[in-house]
A = this chain, B = another copy of it.
Amino acid sequence: MQKQTTIKDIALALKVSTSTVSRALRDASDIKPETKEAVKRLAEELDYHPNRLALSLQNRQTNCIGVIIPNLDYVLATMVKGIDEVALGAGYTVMVCQSDESFGREITNTKRLMDSLVDGFIVSVSSETKVYEHLKKIEAKDTPLVMFDRIVPQLQVPKVRLDNRQGGIIATQHLIDQGYKKIAILAGPANLNISNKRLLGYTDTLKENNLKVNKQFIIHCDFNQDYAYEATKELLAMKNRPDAIFTISDRMAIGAMLAIKEKGLRMPEDIGLVGFNNEPITNLVTPKITSIEMFAFEMGKTAAKIFIERLHSTEDMSGEEIVMQPKLVVRESSKRFIT
């Protein structure tokens, strides 16, 4: 394709060896100032750029980070931005690959990047991922791997995650404090750790408050507005319907909201609603939706920092786990009492 100018071209033109050119360009010692100047001038003139491929092949590092994420929704995009910021600052380029919530594509992506294209991975698993051989293989090859947000607890790698149980707790406790008694939860995919931890926070809080845990009120469904809409319709059709719904994402909260409105119920009077992620949209719909802030940008930055630390440190960091605290943001959809 393109005829790149190489170190050889410069060497030939200046009648010196490639070694000398290399030295000059790298500001190494052992070089006469005049030669250095001449080389640099010609390099500038010919618009020389070092071939990163050759460099990487030689010193076995690419200065690239592979970021595998399930999609590019608001939260993930924000996290990626955080990763990007730190990575760029540290001289790394990130390769973002979406698995599109597909296990198969997650595997394809990791495999492709594994072949010496990246120095390591920052991963958040897809909702389909139930088996982790591809991730184990990464660490088995001594390639740094850091997980964030949708982590896999049983893997011995550094992790950055939200205190999801705590998120479930503060959401549920808030609803209870507002006088709701029959609280349903739209939990995410059952094999996702974040789902289960938020669900755990929910059940624990119910028990804590001596409220019955009703299995019918626990619904697992995809992170998807439409599924949430359907699930909510079913919930509301019950003879003994819930008087509050806690959804594990804002997208699902939107779906729930649509179903609630369609049914003609008022929020927060007839039914309470709490989402998760604190996306901007929660502040724009009517009623505004109470949600849980998870500091996505910070989480992305932290993940990248940990990754770079892992990359340069020789000691074992597999136990490292950074847990961020969520924060309740109360809005109209659940505020019955003035507190």
A contact set with B: CB distance below 8 Å: 1-4, 47, 49-54, 56-57, 60-62, 64, 72-74, 77, 80-81, 84, 88, 93-98, 100, 105, 108, 111-117, 119, 137, 141-143, 254, 281, 284-286
Please state the number of chain copies in the assembly: 2
Cβ A116 vs Cβ B62 within 8 A: no
Offer 5 A-B interface pairs, CB within 8 angstroms, sorted by A.
Answer: A51-B116, A52-B117, A94-B96, A96-B96, A281-B284
Q: How far is the CA of A143 from the CA of B2 in the complex (A)?
A: 6
Shortest beta-carbon distance from A280 to chain B in Å: 8
Q: How far is the CA of A93 from the CA of B109 in the complex (A)?
A: 8
- With A1-B143, A54-B116, A84-B97 known, 9 other A-B pairs at CB within 8 A are A3-B142, A51-B57, A52-B115, A84-B98, A93-B95, A93-B97, A94-B95, A285-B286, A286-B286
Chain B residues with Cβ below 8 Å from A47 are: 137
Q: How far is the CA of A73 from the CA of B279 in the complex (A)?
A: 13
Query: Quick one: closest B residue to A5, CB to CB?
Result: B141
Chain B residues with Cβ below 8 Å from A56 are: 53
Given contacts A61-B1, A72-B80, A77-B77, contact A116 B52 (CB under 8 A): yes
Q: Which of B77, B97, B115, B285 makes the CB contact (< 8 A) with A51?
A: B115
Chain B residues with Cβ below 8 Å from A141 are: 2, 4
Chain B residues with Cβ below 8 Å from A116 are: 4, 51-54
Chain B residues with Cβ below 8 Å from A57 are: 51, 53-54, 57
Chain B residues with Cβ below 8 Å from A94 are: 95-97
Q: Which of B88, B115, B142, B143 makes the CB contact (< 8 A) with A50?
A: B115
Shortest beta-carbon distance from A287 to chain B in Å: 10
Chain B residues with Cβ below 8 Å from A84 are: 97-98, 100
Q: How far is the CA of A51 from the CA of B61 in the complex (A)?
A: 12
Chain B residues with Cβ below 8 Å from A2 are: 141-143
Given contacts A1-B142, A56-B53, A116-B52, contact A108 B88 (CB under 8 A): yes
Q: How far is the CA of A96 from the CA of B96 in the complex (A)?
A: 6
Chain B residues with Cβ below 8 Å from A119 are: 1
